[in-house]
């Protein structure tokens, strides 16, 4: 396993639409293992493959708390089914938009159809934080960042700050 570099906005690769995976094989499991190690190291609770430069429809997540046993979830070719009409608001952050958090409204519940780590089809009934997290990560697969759900002014302010930080880091 290896820790990969996480792409940060405004990297144009984050705007790519990820391609479906043909099969779950050892190479894909190695990618998922690397993604999980990268996510834990960051630290974060979810990571889409595109965030490490792999434009495939793969997500890893682990919502276990600090003192809880790790409980990783692997989603290959996930599809959101039946999003609820009732909404929840959670404060979201993103490893690709470091050190910025804001409230985002999303469906409170959904079902997710996907292939697991071993290529077996699964359906997850998601609500609350896990529903928010899966929808956030699914956005990445479509080239959407959580800041795209904010006002244009907030989004532009965040991107301007990130560009400035990247210029300063490059100058060092």
List active site positions: 137
Question: Cα(121)–Cα(113) distance, rounded to whole angstroms?
Answer: 7
Q: At CA 170, angle to CA 167 and CA 172, rounded to 5?
A: 115
Task: Give the C-alpha distances (Å, rounded to integers) separating 105 from 100, 128, 136, 161.
Answer: 16, 12, 11, 24
Asked if residue 121 lies in contact with residue 115, where contact means CB atoms within 8 angstroms, the answer is: yes
- The H or E element that residue 79 is part of is strand 73-81
User: Nearest-CA neighbor of 74 among 24, 109, 16?
Assistant: 24
Separation CA 26–CA 34 (nearest Å): 12
Residue 115 CA to residue 94 CA, distance in Å, equals 24
């Amino acid at each position: 396993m290896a820790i990969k570099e996480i792409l940060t906005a405004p990297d144009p690769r984050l705007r790519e639409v990820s391609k479906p995976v043909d099969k779950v094989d050892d190479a894909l499991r190695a990618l998922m293992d690397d993604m999980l190690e990268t996510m834990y190291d960051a630290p974060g609770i979810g990571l889409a493959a595109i965030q490490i430069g792999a434009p495939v429809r793969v997500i890893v997540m682990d919502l276990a708390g600090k003192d809880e046993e790790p409980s990783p979830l692997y989603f290959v070719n996930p599809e959101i089914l039946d999003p609820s009409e009732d909404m929840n608001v959670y404060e979201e952050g993103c490893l690709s938009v470091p050190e910025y958090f804001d409230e985002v409204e999303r469906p409170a519940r959904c079902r997710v159809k996907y292939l697991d780590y071993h290529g077996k089809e699964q359906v997850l009934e998601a609500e609350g934080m896990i529903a928010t997290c899966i929808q956030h990560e699914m956005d990445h697969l479509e080239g959407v960042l959580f800041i795209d759900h904010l006002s244009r002014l907030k989004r532009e302010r965040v991107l301007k700050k990130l560009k400035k930080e990247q210029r300063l880091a490059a100058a060092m």
